[in-house]
């Protein structure tokens, strides 16, 4: 197991433990069991429907070899190089340059790019971006991100339940208002931090994997630099309305950075990603 996968496994275990702990606070052992069953049910639903939900959320339009021959052909060529089944291909009519992959496994995957990124990048740079997204598919990161996002959302729901309907401490006594308020505020924050750590860990691996698929690390490096520059000045309303989807994008689509928001960064620093890709091109990564 690679260091990245080990880190992801540990973080997923941490978010599951947090989920169970909140369930235990609400209803003891029974509450813990019910919380785990609730989380499991949510994950099964998300596992089957996450791709449809997010593509519908962004009003993504599916394209094929007739409607978008160059873009579709690019993805087909890269999927063949990666040894992957051909994913469904979508275009999102948003000005911000961005892209993401979704789907529960490589056989049910989809990749999507905004119309903005298709205009702002040249062919070689866009090819590097789509190779990055196919690396997410190959590494099954789309499933990991779905599970972590679903668990984080469920933790928030449970914490709110504890806030309004009470919970119990380790001695079985009803929790006071102050502890309930602390759980309601801190538990979702902790879940969010864990979720963001998972996302950042997987982005480095997708950069590396995408560079290997495309055979052109510098193309992805150039694309990241250009996307970062343009994305900062162009908002993405759908992402702002649904911030839980930010981790899926190749660059954080949300406005605002710096200060405490760095704790919740969905992606590593772009400069570090570019430096690693440049090292890879030189054969030192």
**Catalytic residue (one of 94, 125, 133, 203):** 133
- What is the phi-psi region of residue 68: left when phi exceeds 0, alpha when psi lies from -120 to 50, beta otherwise? beta
Distance CA 113, CA 99 (A): 4
For 257, the 3-state DSSP assignment is coil
Place of tokens 């490589």: 106
Bridge-based pairing of strands 110-114 and 61-63 is unpaired
Determine the distance from the C-alpha atom of residue 81 to the mean position of all C-alpha atoms in its chain, rounded to a whole number. Answer: 24
Annotated catalytic, 133? yes
Q: Which two tokens stand for residue 127?
A: 């090819």
Distance CA 39, CA 44 (A): 9
- Class of residue 37 by CB neighbours under 10 A (exposed 0-12, middle 13-18, buried 19+): exposed
Give the residues across from 88 on adjacent strands.
110
Distance CA 19, CA 38 (A): 10
Q: Which residues are catalytic?
A: 133
């Amino acid at each position: 197991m690679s260091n990245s996968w080990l880190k992801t496994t540990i973080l997923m275990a941490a978010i599951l433990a947090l989920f169970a702990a909140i369930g235990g606070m609400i209803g003891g052992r029974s509450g813990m069991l019910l919380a785990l069953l609730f989380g499991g049910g949510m994950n099964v639903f998300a596992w089957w429907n996450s791709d449809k939900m997010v593509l519908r959320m962004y009003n993504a339009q599916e394209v094929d070899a007739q409607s978008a021959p160059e873009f579709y052909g690019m993805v087909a060529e890269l999927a063949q190089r990666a040894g992957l089944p051909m994913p469904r291909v979508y275009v999102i009519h948003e000005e911000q340059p961005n892209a993401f992959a979704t789907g529960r496994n490589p056989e049910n995957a989809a990749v999507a790019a905004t119309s903005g990124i298709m205009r702002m990048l040249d062919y070689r740079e866009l090819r590097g971006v789509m190779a990055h997204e196919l690396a997410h598919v190959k590494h099954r990161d789309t499933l990991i991100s779905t599970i972590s996002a679903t668990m984080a959302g469920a933790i928030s729901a449970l914490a709110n339940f504890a806030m309004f309907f009470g919970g119990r401490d380790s001695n079985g006594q009803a929790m006071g208002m102050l502890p309930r308020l602390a759980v309601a505020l801190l538990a979702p924050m902790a879940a969010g931090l864990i979720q963001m750590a998972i996302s950042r860990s997987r982005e480095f691996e997708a950069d590396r994997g995408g560079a290997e698929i495309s055979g052109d690390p510098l193309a992805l490096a150039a694309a990241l630099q250009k996307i970062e520059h343009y994305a900062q000045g162009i908002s993405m309303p759908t992402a702002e309305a649904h911030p839980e989807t930010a981790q899926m994008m190749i660059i954080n689509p949300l406005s605002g950075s710096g200060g405490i928001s760095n704790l919740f960064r969905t992606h590593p620093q772009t400069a570090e990603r570019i430096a690693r890709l440049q090292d890879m091109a030189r054969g030192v990564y």
